[in-house]
Chain A
Amino acid sequence: MKTFKTLIIIFLLLFFNNLFANENSERNEITKNLRCLICQGQSVYDSDSDFANSMKILVDKKLNEGLSDKEIYSYFKEKYGDWILYDPGLNKNTYLLWLLPILIFLFGGAIIVKSFIFKK
């Protein structure tokens, strides 16, 4: 009987723990993609600075208001500019960032095709 009770307690603890984690997961997901602007190389999720803590509260508030993650990102982008997002969109400042890997990939592919296929 005693082991049964212990098992129930353990089960309940794990169960509620799971619930708690689910509640925060959406917020965590979003704050991981937001840069803490006053920190060095940390996301809002990682940081415990005043700025980051306020951002977390605000993200919670926006989620409660029913905003989707995309709407929250564009909300912060409007306030702070592209820099706040870890995943910047394609624009005139970032085209090199997005196109360079593709160019390198094509260039490497061309070399491989040239040296392996045309050789035969």
Chain B
Amino acid sequence: MKQKLVPFSIIVIFFVIFVVFYKSLEDTNIYTPEVKINNDIPIFSAERLLSNETLDSKEIFQLDKFYILNIWSSWCAPCRDEHSILMDLSKSNKFIVIGMNYKDNKKNAKSFLDELGNPYEKIIIDKNGTKSIEWGAFGVPETFIIYNNKIIKKYIGPLNQELFLEIQNLTK
């Protein structure tokens, strides 16, 4: 009996290890976060970039339209790349593009917009990065599509032409 038990347990242990390793072979080791959708948007109030008033989240997302919240910063190079896409999206009357200026200073942010154009209807300031964490963001750039006060889609990293078409298809 004992003679059989040892090889049997060795085989079982190797089998378990094999399954675990084989399963993890298929996973990428770069962590892509679970995209949490259909979450309610957080309630917050924030200062605006281009004027000194404070805005409540309720005032921002009150219309029956698709909102695009884009987290950006003047020091972020990928934000520069995706800016033309945001300009195109802002021309469509289905979307309202809202900007969240992440850990930036006002002067640089303004000259960034002067140089590349301003696609945002409103821009709010996230000086210490806590507001973007309340949204569940990692850094810049990141884009949320909001409808009816719910996050329906989230894009991490810069937008490109492909995603531009995807976003336009969302409204259909």
Contacts and interface: CB of A to CB of B under 8 A. Distances in A.
B139 A53 contact: no
A53 B9 CA distance: 48
Interface stretch (A9-17, A20-28, A66-74, A78-86): A78-86
Given A51-B129, A115-B2, A58 B31 contact: no
A37 B33 contact: yes
B20 to A, nearest CB: 8
B129 A37 contact: no
Contacts of B5: 111, 114
B30 to A, nearest CB: 11
A13 B133 CA distance: 36
B34 A83 contact: yes
B36 interface: yes
B31 A83 contact: yes
Contacts of A115: 2
B31 A57 contact: no
> Which of A38, A51, A54, A100 has the most B CB atoms < 10 Å from its CB?
A54
Given A61-B130, A111-B9, A80 B31 contact: no
> Which of B9, B133, B139 has the most A CB atoms < 10 Å from its CB?
B133
Given A38-B139, A50-B129, A58-B133, A78 B39 contact: yes
Contacts of B34: 80-83
A96 B23 CA distance: 12
Contacts of B132: 54
B129 A53 contact: yes
Interface string B41-79: 000000000000000000000000000000000000000
Contact of A58 (B20, B33, B130): B130
Given A51-B138, A51-B139, A107-B9, A80 B129 contact: no
Interface of A: 37-38, 50-51, 53-55, 57-58, 61, 78-83, 96, 100, 107, 111, 114-115
